[in-house]
């Protein structure tokens, strides 16, 4: 399958799209128009979760040989439930629990597969030397990528995270990661600085001899494609349990920062899945909510550190893929938007384009106080313990239902274990959290009775291995230094 850059200057096959991560012109790779590649979505719904993944990935990435074996290696024995992402009734809605993988966050679904795809692409294309995986993280991607890529032959992974911009557990997960091909580095800045720095590395180092770069962020289509799977899992579960008949639309609420998770829902809809509204749920960094309301994407605003740090983002990379679709695949128009965002800090879409987008998307934002109130309410009224990101989703879902009176089933994507944010959850429940992050987990377990995920409980004994911290302008030199280690080992 040929993938095209959103900025129009490059077309590559699916193997190269995954291996490159980002297009040479700075754009993101998108698949052909879905009507040119029909997909039997109803047959997919009849499959078990792993077979759904095989069918979906085989359709989106047909150049990979033996996709079935890649999926089996990616998932077998790594998730604590055969459903991968179970659907749980909560009040009058559903929580799609995406945190049952090895790092207790939704990124595991995709980042268990991506290392298998990159290794397979390297083999099929006869690549020599190392592929250096550059990753910016607002919290969860970093550990999930490290878990997937550590000690994978032919790769070196470098993860950048904002100093002070992730939860204490998220930081601990990353800095204790072992592996001979692993580098973890704090950046004095926010996630947007990390993300911008990674893109600059791709732009400035793309032609450097002997250096092959790729990405584990959702700018990589190989990271994005597996995220479609859990939309199909959720819909199939509703059909299987008699909640809906095949063909009835289902609304999905997605806590959103970089726009990849919700874009996967849009892609699922393009393949035929009966998706109703995709509700974009933002925290106080409400740049996406404002965009859907006004048609202006404006990053010129104060950056707010919140209880949901994985959503503390002002530049949502994956929105570029949606723009490409909304602008009738006009790469020149996308280029103008991206240039305006870079030079002026904003771009504006015509109301006719926004009306087209609002047919598929709604958007709401949630304050810190509303987030904490929702955590408490979900626990006291429904006995459901959720993390701050999921709480933002439930709040947005409630607002959406009250405003629209939609009677479609409502599925909220639950993106992380509450134990990754135990301090904020405890405070929301009216409990003073312990100073020690692991004692906080025990406090939360004692109150709720919900078991602590083994991968998080074991962090107490883990040794911190990574201590690097750099200025945001030093990322390129850091990449060159760490990438050079592979040549000296």
Within a domain: 482: no
Q: Return d(Cα 190, Cα 201) in angstroms, integer.
A: 17
Query: What's the structural domain count of the chain?
Result: 1
**Which pLDDT score is estimated for 283?**
97
Q: Please list, in sequence order, all residues whose beta carbon lies within 8 angstroms of the beta carbon of residue 118, skipping any fewer than 6 positions away.
A: 18, 19, 131, 133, 152, 155, 214, 222
What is the model's pTM?
0.94
Question: Is the CB of residue 143 less than 8 Å from the CB of residue 108?
Answer: no
Q: What is the 3-state secondary structure (H, E, C) of the chain?
A: CEEEECCCCCEEEHHHHHHHCCCCCCCCEECCCHHHCCCCHHHHHCCCHHHHHHHHHHHHCCCCCCHHHHHHHHHCCCCCCCCCCCEEEECCEEEEECCCCCCCECHHHHHCCHHHHHHHHHHHHCCCCCEEEEEECCCHHHHHHHHHHCCCCCEEEEEEEECCCCCHHHHHHHHCCCCCCEEEEEEECCHHHHHHHHHHHHHHHCCCCCCEEEECCCCCHHHHHHHHHHHHHHHHHHHHCCCCCCCCCEEEEEECCCCHHHHHHHHHHHCCCCEEEEEEEECCCCHHHHHHHHCEEECCCCCCCCCCHHHCCCCCCCHHHHHHHHCCCCHHHHHHHHHHHHHHCEEECCHHHHHHHHCCEEEEECCHHHHHHHHHHHHHHHCCCCCHHHHHHHHHHHHHHHHHCCCCCEEEEECECHHHHHHHHHHHCCCCCCCCHHHHHHHHHHHHCCCCCHHHHHHHHCCCCCCEEEEHHHHHHHHHHHHCHHHHC
Within a domain: 47: no
- Angle among Cα 7, 287, 255 to the nearest 5 degrees reads 95
Within a domain: 166: no
| pLDDT digits (tens), the chain, 489 positions | 999 999 998 999 999 999 999 999 999 999 887 777 899 999 999 999 999 999 999 999 999 999 999 999 999 999 999 999 999 999 999 999 999 999 999 999 999 999 999 999 999 999 988 999 999 998 889 999 999 999 999 999 999 999 999 999 999 999 999 999 999 999 999 999 999 999 999 999 988 988 999 999 899 999 999 999 999 999 999 999 999 999 999 999 999 999 999 999 999 999 999 999 999 999 999 999 999 999 999 999 999 999 999 899 999 999 999 999 999 999 999 999 999 999 999 999 999 999 999 999 999 999 999 999 999 999 999 999 999 999 999 999 999 999 998 899 999 999 999 999 999 999 999 999 999 999 999 999 999 999 999 999 999 999 999 999 999 999 999 999 999 875 544
**Which pLDDT score is estimated for 488?**
47
Cite the active site residues. Answer: 107
Q: Return d(Cα 14, Cα 58) in angstroms, integer.
A: 11
Q: Please list, in sequence order, all residues whose beta carbon lies within 8 angstroms of the beta carbon of residue 377, skipping any fewer than 6 positions away.
A: none
Terminal C-alpha separation, the chain:
37
Q: Which domain holds residue 234?
A: 87-103+224-459
Within a domain: 398: yes
Question: Is the CB of residue 253 less than 8 Å from the CB of residue 395?
Answer: no
Within a domain: 110: no
Within a domain: 345: yes
Within a domain: 24: no
The enclosing domain of 234 has a CATH number of: 3.40.50.1100
Within a domain: 58: no
Q: Return d(Cα 375, Cα 448) in angstroms, integer.
A: 13
**Which pLDDT score is estimated for 125?**
95
**Which pLDDT score is estimated for 36?**
75
**Which pLDDT score is estimated for 486?**
56
The Cβ-side half-sphere exposure at 414, using a 13 Å CA radius, reads 30
């Amino acid at each position: 399958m040929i993938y095209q850059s959103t900025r129009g200057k490059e077309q590559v096959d699916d193997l190269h799209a995954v291996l490159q991560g980002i297009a040479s012109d700075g754009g993101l790779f998108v698949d052909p128009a879905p009507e040119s590649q029909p997909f039997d979505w109803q047959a997919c719904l009849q499959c078990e979760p792993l077979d759904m993944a095989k069918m979906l990935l085989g359709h989106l990435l047909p150049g990979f040989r033996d996709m079935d074996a890649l999926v089996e290696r990616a998932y077998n024995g790594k998730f604590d439930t055969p459903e991968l992402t179970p659907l749980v009734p909560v009040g009058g809605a559903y929580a799609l629990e995406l945190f049952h993988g090895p790092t207790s966050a939704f990124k595991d679904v995709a980042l268990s597969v991506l290392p298998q795809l990159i290794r397979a692409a390297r083999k099929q294309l006869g690549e020599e030397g190392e592929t250096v995986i550059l990753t910016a993280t607002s919290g969860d991607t970093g550990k999930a990528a490290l878990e997937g890529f550590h000690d994978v032959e032919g790769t070196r992974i470098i993860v950048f995270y904002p100093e002070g911009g992730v939860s204490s557990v998220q930081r601990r997960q990353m800095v204790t990661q072992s592996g001979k091909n692993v580098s973890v580095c704090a950046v004095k800045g926010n996630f947007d600085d990390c993300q911008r720095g990674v893109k600059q590395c791709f732009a400035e180092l793309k032609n450097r001899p002997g250096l092959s770069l790729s990405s584990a962020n959702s700018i990589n289509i190989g990271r994005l494609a597996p995220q479609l799977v859990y939309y199909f899992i959720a819909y199939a579960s509703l059909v299987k349990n008699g909640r809906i008949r095949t063909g009835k639309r289902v609304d999905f609420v997605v806590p959103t920062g970089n726009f990849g998770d919700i874009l996967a829902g849009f892609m699922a809809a393009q393949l035929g899945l009966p998706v109703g509204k995709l509700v974009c749920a933002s925290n106080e960094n409400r740049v996406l909510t404002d965009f859907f309301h006004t048609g202006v994407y404006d990053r010129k605003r104060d950056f707010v550190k919140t209880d949901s740090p994985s959503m503390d983002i002002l530049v949502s990379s994956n929105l570029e893929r949606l723009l490409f679709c909304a602008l009738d695949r006009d790469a020149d128009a996308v280029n103008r938007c991206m240039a305006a965002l870079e030079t002026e800090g904003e771009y504006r879409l015509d109301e006719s384009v926004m009306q087209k987008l609002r047919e598929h998307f709604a958007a709401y934002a949630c304050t810190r106080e509303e987030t904490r109130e929702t955590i408490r309410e979900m626990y006291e009224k429904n006995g459901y313990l959720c993390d701050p990101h999921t709480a933002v989703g439930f709040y947005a879902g409630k607002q959406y239902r009250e405003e629209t009176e939609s009677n479609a089933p409502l599925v909220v994507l639950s993106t992380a274990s509450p134990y990754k944010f135990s301090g904020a959850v405890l405070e929301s429940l009216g409990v003073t959290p312990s100073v020690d992050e692991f004692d906080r987990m025990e406090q939360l377990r004692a109150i709720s009775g919900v078991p602590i995920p083994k991968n998080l409980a074991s962090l107490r004994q883990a040794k911190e291995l990574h201590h690097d911290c750099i200025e945001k302008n030093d990322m390129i030199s850091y990449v060159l230094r760490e990438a050079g280690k592979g040549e000296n080992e």
